[in-house]
Amino acid sequence: MGSVESKGGVTISFVERYARSDQFDQIFREGMSLVEAAATYLDGEGRKAAKALSPGQSVLYATESMRLTTRLLELASWLLVRRSLKTGEIDAEEARVRRRRIKLATLGRPSHVTSFDELPAGLRELIEKSYALNDRIVLLDRALDQPATVVRFPAPNAVRQQVETLAGAFEKPS
């Protein structure tokens, strides 16, 4: 959906171009790397850190690690749908159907969590990175839902172009 001719202008979807670009590939790689980093942390260092927590902190750790996992699964699902659309594995309608099943969170931040600072540093870092990625994807997703922008370029004036060409031919060299 790069550009479409319409009356008096060209409709250009910059967001669609972005979603098909190398910049999208970069956010895709970042997202998948974050999913992998979270899985590695939660299954290794995070598990060890959780054992050293008080009972109250353990409940907070379990809650926040589940929220992190859920958020990352939704983000990964969104990225995979967009990549499938980009590579032609699915069409735009199938992407819309799959997108409706994905619940991107727009509310909640580490600052909303009581005792967030008591969580292990590795988990806090992953949560903060997941929210930063979430914000970027939510903005991109909202932009993709917007209708394409019509950009109107002035129609070329053939007479003016000829006059300018003639004037340039008769100008005195400097």
134, exposed or middle or buried, with CB in 10 Å at 0-12, 13-18, 19+?
buried
CATH number of the domain to which 87 belongs: 1.10.8.930
Residues 38 and 53: their CA atoms lie apart, in Å, by 19
Of the pLDDT bands very low, low, confident and very high (cuts 50, 70, 90), residue 157 is: confident
pLDDT above 90: residue 46: yes
Each residue's pLDDT tens digit, 103-119: 998 766 777 888 899 99
Number of domains forming the structure of the chain = 1
Return phi, psi of residue 12, to 5°.
Answer: -120, 125
Domain interval for residue 160? 3-170
DSSP string, 104-131: ---S--GGGSTTGGGS-HHHHHHHHHHH
C-beta separation of 76 from 38 below 8 A: no
Place of tokens 């997202």: 31
Residues 11 and 149: their CA atoms lie apart, in Å, by 6
C-beta separation of 146 from 15 below 8 A: yes
In this prediction the pTM is 0.74
Each residue's pLDDT tens digit, 81-93: 999 988 899 998 9
pLDDT above 70: residue 171: yes
Residues 142 and 2: their CA atoms lie apart, in Å, by 18
- 151: enclosing H helix or E strand: strand 149-151
Which three-class secondary structure state does DSSP give residue 11?
strand
One-letter amino acid at 173 equals P
